[in-house]
Amino acid sequence: MRKVIEEKMYNTATATAVHQWDNGRYSSDFRYYCETLYRTPAGSFFLYCEGGPSSCMSVPVGNNGRGGSEDIVPLQEIDTISWLEQKNAVDTLLKLFPDHVVVA
């Protein structure tokens, strides 16, 4: 997926996926939801989000239908760190931001 946001191009085909989280449902389940953290060649981060018609990615289709969708959400560094912490992505957090984690 490609998307231009505030004059910046985000492209899942040219960025590197660094971590993925999903809600544990099969992709064929209407409630499926997945977020993949990407890093662009320039070092920026973004989330690629996708979900089914009964997930938070639900969109209207036709007169009374619902469908799944996908989107790209740019992240600042602090938001990326927070997302990794929320998803308990310890290894990825230590790899990408070793200076932001201290041993308690």
pLDDT tens digits for range 50-62: 999 999 999 999 9
Q: What is the pLDDT of residue 91?
A: 96
With CA atoms as reference, report the closest residue to 5 among 64, 56, 46, 65: 46
Residue 103 has pLDDT above 80, yes or no: no
Residue 102 has what pLDDT?
A: 81
- What pLDDT, on the 0 to 100 scale, is given for residue 101? 83
Mean pLDDT score of the chain, rounded to an integer? 96
Q: pLDDT value at position 104?
A: 76
Structure tokens at 84: 């990794």
- What's the pTM? 0.93
